Structure 1
Amino acid sequence: MTASAAQPVVRATLEDVARAAGVSLATVDRVVNRRDGVRAKTVARVEAAVAKLGYRADVAAARLARGQSFRFAFVLPSGSNSFMTNLTEQVQRTAEWLAGQRGFIDILHVDVFDPDVLAGALETLSPAYQGVAVIALDHPRVRAAIDELASRGVAVVTLVSDAPSARRLHYVGIDNPAAGRTAATLMGRFLTGSEGTVAVIAGSLSLRDHTERQYGFHQILSSEYPKLRTLPVLEGRDDSDRTRELTAALLARHADLRGIYCCGAGNRGIADALEASGRAREVVWITHELTQHTRRFLVRGTLDAIINQDAGHEARSAARVLLAHCSGEPISPDQERIRIDIFLRDNLP
């Protein structure tokens, strides 16, 4: 090795801190883990040694030494929703990383559109779980199930869709009203000078993310683009067959239909109906989530813009938040903030 070659970084240990502070290993352990029984002067000496050596605890090693591990349940939607399939894949990848941190993930698929089914799944979860991440339905029974988990000491993180009045620990997802406002601004700009109707298709208005998106969309479109009149919100339950029927009926009933905003899923159905009608190039269509299907629709011009959230970031963030809570460690709010992405055909990754 030459003199200029990079030297390996040697991580300071508790033994190094003990030697530098001139105290026993047991004393350092007490100070680092914030346990009582150490004089203030000694605490100050140990903390000075920690700062000087740049000591950082190896949390995973400490959990291993104590025989400590955590198990989390990720409750995700059943069905063929492409974004949720992608999210499941990202949770599976996150599980591989988390295993090295002494944390383990089980994935449960349920019908999140049915409050009784979702609440029942939460109510019957094994007591072996210390934390739960769930695509939440903002419904009284689901909120009660979340509250019951919290009362048992189980940390609950809502993922993608929130239930803010429940006793959840943290919400991992985008600012949905802002996402809806962003979609409305794009729609208004794309349709500058146009007059007519705009349709909004949600999966379910019981899902708070869909409700908040359509609220933000209406907020901007009605105040800044008065020539564009929004139709009553339709619910497609994120099902492609159902959204195909809804979209075909819209196109048949409204000759002045200028735009479609889908704040949920079921995009394959919308694409089929638009292309079958021959009006795909005259109706502006904006939707959510970059998937293999929406990418294809965007490239061929059927779809005009995608509002996206990073499923991988969300899966990792939910796992980090649960692990940090169970370990008594802080989280970094900036790291856990999920940004809103906008994709056009010209900037696809």
Structure 2
Amino acid sequence: MSMIAERITLEDVAREAGVSLATVDRVLNRRPGVREKTAAKVQAAIAKLGYRPDPVAARLARKETFRFCFILPTGTNTFMSNLEEQVGVAAEWLVTQRAFVDMLHVDVFDPDVLATALERLEGRYHGVAVIALDHPRVRAAIDDLVARGSAVVTLVSDAPTSRRLRYVGIDNTAAGRTAGTLMGRFSGGREGSVALIAGSLALRDHAERQFGFMQVVNGEFPNLRTLPLREGRDDSELTRKVTEDILAAHPDLVGIYNVGAGNRGIAAALEAAGRERDIVFIGHDLTAYTKRFLVRGIMDAVINQDAGHEARSAARLLLAHCTGEPILPEQERIRIDIFLRDNIP
């Protein structure tokens, strides 16, 4: 009678090989004291029955658990709120793997605050996922965590020269180039200026998006003139004021590219000025607000990264590092999505 692979137990293997359960355990864990012929019988039984070790059961038997920390930004950024919700969903799955998650909210725009928060985690967690600031002190704090045995993945924004395990997020230079192509096409050959608003260029994802955008616009669309970038710290009210200043100072404005968050502030300023229909507005992250702006024609395109995919990927990478299990690189690649009002999910 055939058995279903996932129901095969060590007892089944021991029975098939004609050895004790202790012998099977020694063979599986490569401990000494088993003759070569006996070990071969056990391996043959494993292959015949299709036995696969249950890592959760093994950790349960060893009373082994893992603790992870996700460092997320403070503030009212809607995408980050969505990400936090998805981290909560991933945390529920991690519990079934005997891994547990804490969430810590930090001002990620301040390198000293972020570095101090990382330094305080030393010795407390097996793994850390952090919205990173590419700053020397933050990189040093990440390196110290790794040196003391904690795996670190950077989430959404990277610190690539640190000793982090992996970056979980989109290719932000490619995202910026995509925004540049859309801006050039949607402007329809009109001549004028284009504004860029970022949360902070200290965030590597924002700097890379700006770089990609300017590569395309400055190189391929001579009818458009990019203005000096303004920072809004991903705050809707501050971003609204920045947009109002830009509108007043540049009557030839034909487009706005919001590199980070704060889309609500830009939309409010455009509507108040009656410019929501004639200015091309491209931003990031599909939220309840940006969906509404797309439908109403205030935004022309949204470049999106899947918060759920990022949260799950960070969780899988940290767990796999701790357990020594393999990962599938294709599964962990975060795609760039482009949404117009015609394909809103």
Determine if the TM-score, normalized by the shorter chain, exceeds 0.5: yes
Structure 2 segments unaligned to the other structure (5+ residues):
none
CA contact (8 A) 2:127 2:152 kept: yes
| CA–CA separation in structure 2 for the residues paired with 1:260 and 1:90 | 29
1:58 and 2:58 matched: no
1:80 and 2:80 matched: no
1:13 and 2:2 matched: no
- In structure 2, relative to structure 1, the CA distance for the partners of 1:184 and 1:33 (3 Å cut) is farther
In the TM superposition, 1:187-226 aligns within 5 A as: 187-226=183-222
| CA–CA separation in structure 2 for the residues paired with 1:194 and 1:226 | 10
Aligned to 1:3: none
Aligned to 2:259: 263
Matched position secondary structure for 2:310: helix
State TM-score, norm by structure 2.
Answer: 0.94
Measured after TM superposition, the shift of residue 54 of structure 1 is 2.3
1:273 and 2:289 matched: no
Measured after TM superposition, the shift of residue 39 of structure 1 is 5.5
- Give the residue type in structure 1 aligned to 2:269: A
* Matching residue within 221, 228, 235 for 1:232: 228
Aligned to 2:26: 30
Aligned to 1:345: 341
Aligned to 1:245: 241
- Give the residue type in structure 2 aligned to 1:99: V
| CA–CA separation in structure 1 for the residues paired with 2:4 and 2:23 | 29
Aligned to 2:88: 92
| CA–CA separation in structure 2 for the residues paired with 1:33 and 1:333 | 27
Greater displacement, 16-25 / 170-179: 16-25
Aligned to 1:132: 128
Greater displacement, 89-98 / 16-25: 16-25
* Matching residue within 305, 320, 323 for 2:301: 305
Measured after TM superposition, the shift of residue 51 of structure 1 is 3.2
- In structure 2, relative to structure 1, the CA distance for the partners of 1:36 and 1:250 (3 Å cut) is farther
CA contact (8 A) 2:72 2:103 kept: yes
1:138-178 deviation line (CA, Å, top 9, x unaligned): 00110010011011011111100000101101111111111
Measured after TM superposition, the shift of residue 35 of structure 1 is 4.5
Measured after TM superposition, the shift of residue 328 of structure 1 is 1.4
Measured after TM superposition, the shift of residue 183 of structure 1 is 1.0
| CA–CA separation in structure 2 for the residues paired with 1:266 and 1:70 | 36
| CA–CA separation in structure 1 for the residues paired with 2:6 and 2:54 | 13
| CA–CA separation in structure 2 for the residues paired with 1:303 and 1:219 | 22
1:63-93 deviation line (CA, Å, top 9, x unaligned): 1111000011111001110011111111111
In the TM superposition, 1:327-346 aligns within 5 A as: 327-346=323-342
CA contact (8 A) 2:26 2:34 kept: yes
1:98-132 deviation line (CA, Å, top 9, x unaligned): 11110000000010000010001111126221111
Measured after TM superposition, the shift of residue 36 of structure 1 is 5.4
Measured after TM superposition, the shift of residue 12 of structure 1 is 1.5
- Give the residue type in structure 2 aligned to 1:159: L
CA contact (8 A) 2:122 2:148 kept: no
Measured after TM superposition, the shift of residue 325 of structure 1 is 0.7
In the TM superposition, 1:44-193 aligns within 5 A as: 44-125=40-121, 127-193=123-189
| CA–CA separation in structure 1 for the residues paired with 2:150 and 2:259 | 31
Measured after TM superposition, the shift of residue 241 of structure 1 is 1.2
1:326 and 2:329 matched: no
- Give the residue type in structure 1 aligned to 2:254: R
- In structure 2, relative to structure 1, the CA distance for the partners of 1:247 and 1:35 (3 Å cut) is farther
Structure 1 segments unaligned to the other structure (5+ residues):
1-6
- Give the residue type in structure 1 aligned to 2:157: S
How many residues matched? 343
CA contact (8 A) 2:142 2:162 kept: yes
| CA–CA separation in structure 2 for the residues paired with 1:196 and 1:90 | 40
Matched position secondary structure for 2:52: coil
| CA–CA separation in structure 2 for the residues paired with 1:164 and 1:290 | 26
Greater displacement, 28-37 / 257-266: 28-37
State TM-score, norm by structure 1.
Answer: 0.93
| CA–CA separation in structure 2 for the residues paired with 1:198 and 1:308 | 21
1:22-47 deviation line (CA, Å, top 9, x unaligned): 44333333343355565555555444
1:288 and 2:294 matched: no
| CA–CA separation in structure 1 for the residues paired with 2:33 and 2:173 | 51
- Give the residue type in structure 1 aligned to 2:53: A
